[in-house]
């Protein structure tokens, strides 16, 4: 099992889904929960790999980008001498924290689905859990597959389950929200598909120009004779990199690297989501059932950021500097616009959804400035948001189940009615606000610091302005969250809420791990996140900043 650890973790939910098809209807949720628990426990084994090395980070993360663990490689589809698609899994500091985040959030979301039989639409319990588990397999696969083709397959595998989970078990406008989600994401996917084909053949053309056979950029004794889908190879191979970055390399008359960067960027920005392609998110979040909102916010949005860090920057570093200003602007606009929209909402869930847009704007800004602190902040922000926003969505779900509406202005005094729930809610929303000592703070501060640091770079004279705008957005965030807490949790107890029971034992135990993580990440950022990510991120940044600019 240990030599195929990643495969086991990735496909364990799929095996669970298969089992769900055959067990009696009453047992389906038990099987599903067991599958997610087992996946979580197995994934915790990975900590052993990343805490080893006795404090020497290069022992774990290597000295160059491309040090992988638990690698599995097998040829999948091959045309000898022409094309080689591999089943290639591996994990490094980039995928690891997000991988763990996925297993944690999936487990909690599955547990949050435990009361499925009490839902308004409680038909098709079997289909629900089967799709849920297939979705988990797709998500886990994305974070560990390092063959672009395989990555694309897992990326697409997530789409259909998500479509049905929103469309069948969602709110009143579920049909619209589901198709909108599908259309937006597929629009990104087809751009990625074009890039997938183009990168393969342009890589092959580069190798051909270099004499037809070149040494692999990171694997000893491996020769390349044709293009590759290996995401690490594409990033570290000097021959391929030179060909990609050459000014004379054009795609339909446009310079290759900036164009490919942009195509991939749009695909991932839709997922992230950034303004102006964020419009699917409020709809999808509002209509999706609570556990699915948790998955959407906790994991799916992170795939956008992961895509930037895994594909866009290492493979097309020159694209990153070409578009840096544009990306930073998009990031800052997302931060401000998301926050302003959140402030204007009267629907509780929509407010949380727009706050996600705002928070993910920090991720984009942190990556766009290409400094080590910025990258680290972006990564941390993804993890922090991956914990705090599922928590917020679950909090909304808990109250929605009792009140059957989400009008912020109709709530009030809930802390008095439901003290345990109110306490948890305060932790969750303060974490989202970015209160020092909670997880949201570190990410935002790191991103802002990274942006200030980028001002030293002569190519980024605008960095100060961006940093000031981004840090001033904290006021907006504090504004809408504090106002929300005042309207919902504080104030006089209301009669209509009298009969509301406090958070049940199950609800409490779903909230507690997230609350604990919110605090732990805020207090021990180094031990909880940075130790696992910085090694790979710094190596990748060296690769990105050390890469030749566009060459003639």
Partner 1 sequence: MDGILGEVSLWSGVDVGRELSLFSPMLALSATMLAIVACPLILGRGPRMIATVSVLGVLVTLVLTMQVGRAVAGGGASGLSTTPEAGLLIADNLSVAFLLVLCVFLLGVMLLWWIGSAETERNAPEFFILLIGSALGMALMVSTANLLMIVAAIETASLPSYAIVGFDKRDRKGAEASLKYMVFGAVCAAIMLYGVSLLYGLAGSLSVQDIARYAVAQLGGGENRLLLAAALVCFVAGVAFKISAVPFHFWCPDAFEGAKIEVTTWLSVASKAAGLILLARMVVIFSGAVSSPLAMHILDPLAWAMGIMAAVTCTVGNFAAYRQTSVKRLLAYSSIAHAGYMLMAAAAFLHPASLGAESGLAALIAYVVVYVFMNLGAFGVTAMVAWDTGGDGIENFNGLMRRAPWLAVPMVFCLMSLIGMPIFAGFVAKWWILVALGNVGHTLGWTLTVVLALNTLFSLYFYMRIVVQMTLRDDGRPMVRASSGGIALVNFCGLALLVLFFFADPFKQATDRFSRNLVGPKAAKTATSLLGPSSESSASSR
Of 394, 354, 349, nearest to 109 by C-alpha is 394
**Closer residue to partner 1, CB minimum distance, 97 or 273:** 273
Residue among 167 and 443 whose Cβ is closer to partner 1: 167
Residue carrying structure tokens 């699915």? 292
Rounded to whole angstroms, the Cα distance separating 134 from 10 reads 10
Tell me the closest approach of the beta carbon of residue 132 to partner 1, in angstroms. 16
Q: Pick the closer one to partner 1 by CB: 8 or 251.
A: 251
CB-nearer residue toward partner 1: 63 or 209: 209
Token output for 447:
């991103």
**How far lies 270's CA from each of 139, 186, 277, 378, 399, in Å?**
16, 10, 5, 17, 30
- Residues forming contacts to partner 1 in the complex (CB under 8 A) are 75-79, 82-83, 152-153, 156-157, 159-160, 164, 167-168, 174-175, 178-179, 182-183, 186-187, 190-191, 193-194, 197-198, 200-202, 205, 208-209, 248-253
Residues 6+ apart with CB under 8 A from 550: 245, 246, 247, 255, 257, 318, 322
Contact present, 90 and 4 (Cβ < 8 Å): no
Q: Pick the closer one to partner 1 by CB: 59 or 77.
A: 77
Nearer to partner 1, 240 or 515 (CB): 240
- Tell me the closest approach of the beta carbon of residue 138 to partner 1, in angstroms: 10
Tokens at 276, concatenated: 């102006």
Minimum distance between the CB of residue 275 and partner 1, rounded to whole angstroms? 21
**459 CB neighbour count, 10 Å cutoff:** 13
- Minimal distance, residue 150 CB to partner 1, in Å: 10
For the bound state, the minimum distance from the C-beta of residue 192 to partner 1, rounded and expressed in Å, comes to 9
Q: How far is the CB of 160 from partner 1 (least distance, A)?
A: 7
Q: Could you give the CA distance from residue 243 to residue 246 in angstroms, rounded to a whole number? A: 5
CA atoms in the 13 A half-sphere facing the CB of 160: 9
- Identity of the residue, 84 or 334, whose beta carbon is nearer to partner 1 in the bound complex: 84
Shortest Å distance, C-beta 169 to partner 1 = 10
Closer by beta carbon to partner 1, 83 or else 215: 83
Taking the complex as a whole, how short is the minimal distance between the CB of residue 206 and partner 1, in angstroms? 8
| Cβ partners under 8 Å of residue 41, min gap 6 | none
Residues 6+ apart with CB under 8 A from 68: 90, 91, 92, 146, 232
Q: CA Rg, the chain, in Å?
A: 23
| Tokens 């981004």 sit on residue | 470
How far apart are CB 30 and partner 1 at their closest, in Å?
A: 23
In the complex with partner 1, the residue whose CB is nearer, 156 or 347, is: 156
By CB neighbour count within 10 A (0-12 exposed, 13-18 middle, 19+ buried), where does 541 fall? buried
Both structure tokens of 111: 């547990």
């Amino acid at each position: 099992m240990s030599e195929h650890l990643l495969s086991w973790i990735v496909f364990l939910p799929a095996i669970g889904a298969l089992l769900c098809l055959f067990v009696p209807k009453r047992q389906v949720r038990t099987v599903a929960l067991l599958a997610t628990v087992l996946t979580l426990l197995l994934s915790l084994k990975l900590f052993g790999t990343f805490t080893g090395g006795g404090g020497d980070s290069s022992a774990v993360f290597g000295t160059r980008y491309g040090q992988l663990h638990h690698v599995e490689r097998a040829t999948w589809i091959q045309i000898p001498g022409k094309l080689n698609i591999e089943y290639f899994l591996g994990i490094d500091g980039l995928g690891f924290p997000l991988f763990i985040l996925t297993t944690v959030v999936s487990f909690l979301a599955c547990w949050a689905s435990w009361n499925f039989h009490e839902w308004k639409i409680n038909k098709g319990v079997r289909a629900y859990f089967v799709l849920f588990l297939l979705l988990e397999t797709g998500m886990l696969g994305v974070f560990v597959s390092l063959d672009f083709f395989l990555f694309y397959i897992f990326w697409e595998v997530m789409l259909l389950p998500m479509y049905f989970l929103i469309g069948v078990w969602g709110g009143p406008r579920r049909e619209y929200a589901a198709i909108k989600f599908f259309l937006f994401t597929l629009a990104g996917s087809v751009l990625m598909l074009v890039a997938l084909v183009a990168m393969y053949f342009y890589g092959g053309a580069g190798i051909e120009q270099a004499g037809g056979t070149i040494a692999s950029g990171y694997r000893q004794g491996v020769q390349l004779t044709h293009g590759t889908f290996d995401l690490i190879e594409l990033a570290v191979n000097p021959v391929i990199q030179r060909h990609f970055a050459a000014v004379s390399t054009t795609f339909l008359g446009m310079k290759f690297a900036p164009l490919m960067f942009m195509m991939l960027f749009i695909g991932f920005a839709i997922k992230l989501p950034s303004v102006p392609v964020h419009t699917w998110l409020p709809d999808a979040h509002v209509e999706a059932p609570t556990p699915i909102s948790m998955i959407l916010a906790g994991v799916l949005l992170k795939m956008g950021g992961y895509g930037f860090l895994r594909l866009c920057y290492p493979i097309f570093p020159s694209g990153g500097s070409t578009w840096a200003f544009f990306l930073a602007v998009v990031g800052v606009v997302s931060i401000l616009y998301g926050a302003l929209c959140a402030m204007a909402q009267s629907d509780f869930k929509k407010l949380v959804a727009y706050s996600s847009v705002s928070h993910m704007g920090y991720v984009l800004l942190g990556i766009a400035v290409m400094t080590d602190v910025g990258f680290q902040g972006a990564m941390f922000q993804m993890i922090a948001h991956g914990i705090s926003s599922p928590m917020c969505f679950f909090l909304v779900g808990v109250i929605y189940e009792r009140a059957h509406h989400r009008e912020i202005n109709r709530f009030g005094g809930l802390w008095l009615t439901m003290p345990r729930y109110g306490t948890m809610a305060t932790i969750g929303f303060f974490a989202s606000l970015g209160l020092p000592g909670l997880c949201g703070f570190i990410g935002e501060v790191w991103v802002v610091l990274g942006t200030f640091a980028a001002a030293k770079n002569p190519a980024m004279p605008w960095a100060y302005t961006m940093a000031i705008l981004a840090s001033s957005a904290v006021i907006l965030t504090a504004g809408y969250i504090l106002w929300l807490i005042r309207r919902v949790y504080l104030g006089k107890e209301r009669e209509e809420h009298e009969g509301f029971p406090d958070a049940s034992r199950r609800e409490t135990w779903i909230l507690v791990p997230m609350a604990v993580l919110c605090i732990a990440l805020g207090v021990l950022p180094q031990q909880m996140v940075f130790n696992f990510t910085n090694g790979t991120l710094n190596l990748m940044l060296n690769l990105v900043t050390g890469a030749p600019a566009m060459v003639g």
